Structure 1
Amino acid sequence: MIKHSDHFHGSDLETIEKIYKIKKEDIISFSANVNPLGISPKLRLTLSERIDAIMSYPDRDYTSLRKCIAEYVHTDVDSVLVGNGSTELISLFIQIKNPKKALIIGPTYSEYEREVSLGRGSTLYYRLEEENDFALNITSLEKELTQDVDLLVICNPNNPTSTAIARNDMRKILDICKQKGIFVMVDETYVEFTEDVQKITSAPLTSYYNNIIILRGISKFFAAPGLRLGYAICGNADLLKEMNQRKNPWTINSLAAIAGEIMFKDEDYIKETRSLIAKERDRVCERLSASHNLRYYTPTANFILIKILKDEVTSMDIFEAAIRKGYMIRDCSTFPFLNNKFIRFCFMTPERNDALLEVILEELK
């Protein structure tokens, strides 16, 4: 048994290898939330043919890549900014806005709080309530959006709850924030996995609101975290200009820029991914419904949050049972407002999902 204070991110395979004596190559990570299909087949076939691109500097404005992204998300090219992963853009945006007090909807990803604190700002959390299935209550949220809050941070769909805010509700939130002088940062890392992307994404709202910025990347949906390519969608020209001026030039290498264009145009891969996740999301939920010793919260993304109802079993018990079979899940006890009764795992291929479910359901008999 490892120390209870030790918890693992989806990329911590070296640590897992050391503690459990399992080769990292043999670990199937249900914790990383990455597309189980792997990288785009078109990218695999064609990127090597463009290797000579590294002999030249990339276009400083990444014009071709930005046009491709604009077509992919159905927005104007001037509203797109690219960076070295969404993490760089989140950091850059928060440095520029330098919020004194940020309200973060949680439980959620810890990096938001870290970035705000680096700028010496303070953070508060708006708590998504378990009894409300972790769905957002806008009336309750509005009460927390006081005049001293200058930034609202939303992950949509949210990690780890896999809940999502529909675009019509996001418009209401933006109206409230606009009246109070609050900027809204929306992380849409997982939006492409949802059944109806256009119902969830806030991208169209950037044409009407100047107090929103949307961040996305290719790490999860396109299974390419190593390429470090992210992008922002924003209709606030002044903000984008300042971000461009402060951003280091050529933060995206030539091959990553080319890879982005290939991936965003691989419609067969995009369609196949969404189909697989939708089918497995429904099928896994159906299997979990048969157990009386757990509760799952209806997922909208490519992962699911589960609460363990069996008294003597903890999230670490499930984690250890799974990892000893070579399956890595997420013990959610370190997320704000969650405890050692919550786990999260992503949807993979049917065979792998079934193998993991056998382990979990056996522990919860």
Structure 2
Amino acid sequence: MKKTSYLSKTVEELKPSGIRRFFDLAAGMEGVISLGVGEPDFVTSWSVREAAILSLEQGYTSYTANAGLLELREEISAYMGQSFGVSYSPKNEIIVTVGASQALDIALRAIVDPGDEVIVIEPSFVSYAPLVVLAGGKAVTVNTKKENDFKVSKEELEQAITARTKAIILCSPNNPTGTMLGREDLIGIAEVAKKYDLLILSDEIYAELSYDEQFVSLAAIDGMRERTILISGFSKGFAMTGWRLGFVCAPEEITQAMLKIHQYAMMCAPTMAQFAAVEALRNGRDDVEEMRKSYRRRRNYFVHSLNELGLECHTPGGAFYVFPSIKSTGLTSLQFAERLLLEEKVAVVPGDVFGESGEGHIRCSYASSMEQLQESIKRIKSFLERL
């Protein structure tokens, strides 16, 4: 008897990314200003590109060690210590991955057994909950509120914890809200993790992009190094999205478990990208600082302009997103985003794709030129006036 479907039921039930849907819509239209996809508008630094070219010219086209070039892991170790005060052994506590997304994927697969629960704090990046499900776990959502600048409290976390809870996924600075957690916020979360013996997967991919206060890594909080899986990479801060290069830092027991999966699923990250990343860490930090200053200026302009238009928006502490409320328009997030795209050719992402608590908001990326941001504000103003 023929099967009705050969597909996994788990995969069949997964929803496609809401971000990509609007990106694809915008790509088919002329004259669109896209504030949708979270990608730097800067080109990767020339010295970094040159390092990749040189590695090819010198014939470095073979696999590297599964965990990545030792030279790169040593640079990552030094960088994390100097920049964020966290120390990891380059030999057995760091893995170079194909983007931070792969690091998150293999981290979840390394720690989750069927039925384990993982807390996802929403609004959250669209891949968190699906990756938990693909690892065999159950994603338990905790909704945050605009009134608290989308910060989660100890009490909210504790209410979601059960006997099956294994871990919490944390992202600071956050995608999509831009909220950055300070030291006191992190201490509160750390207390919950220690009290209930939980791991935390700390997505710190936007660590370099903080604007008003110094970024604090969760792993630097007392007692948290041994229960933190620190995930980061080069895509956002170093403007290297297309290079697909991330890394994970964690205690040896966890990284070696992740390495088993990495060996079978990926072998290693691209060799030329790894040589490029060595150069980025050694000589690319001035460029990162210039990008950070530029994003900060754009953030200030965009947040001020949205508030002037009546779209209430908190000032995000990091990343390159704003998450304004559109509730005053009477439209849903999806209706607002679709109409803005069709009527004014401005692409934003409806907030509900990031979770239930994102409804009534839109995500806009200000990783666009100031000229494009100014034009997008004119178009949004025109759209609101018609409403």
Range of TM-score over shorter length: 0.7 to 0.9
Distance 1:173 1:310, change over 3 A: closer
**2:248 is aligned with 1:232:** yes
Q: What pairs up with 1:14-29 in 2 under 5 angstroms?
A: 14-18=24-28, 20=29, 22=30, 27-29=32-34
Distance 1:45 1:10, change over 3 A: farther
Cα contact 1:136–1:165 (8 A) shared by 2: no
Q: Which moved more, 1:88-97 or 1:216-225?
A: 216-225
Query: What residue is the counterpart of 1:64 in the other structure?
Result: 71
Query: What residue is the counterpart of 2:40 in the other structure?
Result: 35
CA RMSD across the alignment: 2.7
Match of residue 290, structure 1, among 302, 308, 321: 308
Query: What residue is the counterpart of 2:10 in the other structure?
Result: none
CA apart distance, 1:13: 4.4
Using the size of structure 2 for normalisation, the TM-score is: 0.82
Match of residue 88, structure 2, among 76, 80, 99: 76
**Separation in 2, partners of 1:63, 1:217:** 16
Query: What residue is the counterpart of 2:285 in the other structure?
Result: 267
Q: What pairs up with 1:46-195 in 2 under 5 angstroms?
A: 46-52=51-57, 53-61=59-67, 62-74=69-81, 75-78=87-90, 79-99=93-113, 100-195=116-211
**Separation in 1, partners of 2:119, 2:52:** 41
What is the aligned length?
354
Distance 1:264 1:322, change over 3 A: farther
Using the size of structure 1 for normalisation, the TM-score is: 0.87
**2:350 is aligned with 1:331:** yes
**Separation in 2, partners of 1:321, 1:351:** 19
CA apart distance, 1:273: 0.8
Distance 1:137 1:351, change over 3 A: same
Which structure 2 segments of 5+ residues have no match?
1-14, 82-86
Give CA deviations for 1:86-117 in whole Å, capped at 9, x if unaligned: 22221111111115111111121232211221
Distance 1:245 1:10, change over 3 A: same
Amino acid at match of 1:341: G
Query: SS in structure 2 opposite 1:86?
Result: helix
Query: SS in structure 2 opposite 1:295?
Result: coil
**Separation in 2, partners of 1:319, 1:268:** 39
Distance 1:324 1:192, change over 3 A: farther
Distance 1:90 1:197, change over 3 A: farther
Cα contact 2:327–2:361 (8 A) shared by 1: no
Cα contact 2:171–2:203 (8 A) shared by 1: yes
**2:316 is aligned with 1:308:** no
Query: What residue is the counterpart of 1:257 in the other structure?
Result: 274
Q: Which moved more, 1:221-230 or 1:40-49?
A: 40-49
**Separation in 2, partners of 1:280, 1:233:** 32
Q: Which moved more, 1:258-267 or 1:44-53?
A: 44-53
**Separation in 2, partners of 1:195, 1:203:** 20
Query: SS in structure 2 opposite 1:251?
Result: coil
Cα contact 1:152–1:185 (8 A) shared by 2: yes
Cα contact 2:34–2:347 (8 A) shared by 1: yes
Query: What residue is the counterpart of 2:3 in the other structure?
Result: none
Which structure 1 segments of 5+ residues have no match?
none
Q: Which moved more, 1:110-119 or 1:136-145?
A: 136-145
Q: What pairs up with 1:240-255 in 2 under 5 angstroms?
A: 240-248=255-263, 250-255=267-272
Match of residue 278, structure 1, among 275, 282, 296: 296
Distance 1:96 1:251, change over 3 A: same
Query: What residue is the counterpart of 1:9 in the other structure?
Result: 19
Query: What residue is the counterpart of 2:384 in the other structure?
Result: 364
Cα contact 2:168–2:201 (8 A) shared by 1: yes
Cα contact 1:102–1:152 (8 A) shared by 2: yes
Amino acid at match of 1:35: P
CA apart distance, 1:258: 0.7
CA apart distance, 1:188: 1.4
CA apart distance, 1:197: 6.9
Q: Percent identity?
A: 21
**Separation in 2, partners of 1:109, 1:121:** 17
